[in-house]
A and B are shown apart, each in its own frame.
Chain A
Amino acid sequence: MTDTVLQPDTQEIVVDEVFPHAPETIWKTLTTAELMGRWLMMPAGFEPIEGKRFTYQTTPAGDWDGTIHCQVLEVKPNERLTYAWKGGHAGNTGYGSPLDTVVTFILSRAGNGTRLRLVHSGFVLPKNETAYRKMGEGWKKVVKNIGALAGGED
Chain B
Amino acid sequence: MIQTAPITTIMRALADPTRRAVFEQIVNSDEITVVELTRASTVTQGAVSQHLKALKLAGLVTERPEGRKVYYRAEPEGLAPLVDWMSHYGTFWRERFADLRTLLKEIDP
Contact = CB atoms under 8 A, between A and B. Distances in A.
- By secondary structure, the B interface counts as helix
A95 B15 contact: no
A91 B17 CA distance: 24
B6 A91 contact: yes
Chain A, interface SS category: mixed
Interface residues of A, number: 53
A131 B84 contact: no
Interface residues of B, number: 46
Interface of B: 4-8, 11, 14-15, 17-18, 20-21, 23-24, 27-28, 42, 74, 76-77, 79-91, 93-94, 96-104, 107-108
Given A29-B107, A98-B11, 14 more contacts: A3-B17, A19-B101, A22-B108, A29-B100, A29-B103, A39-B96, A88-B7, A94-B81, A94-B88, A97-B82, A120-B93, A126-B20, A138-B77, A145-B91
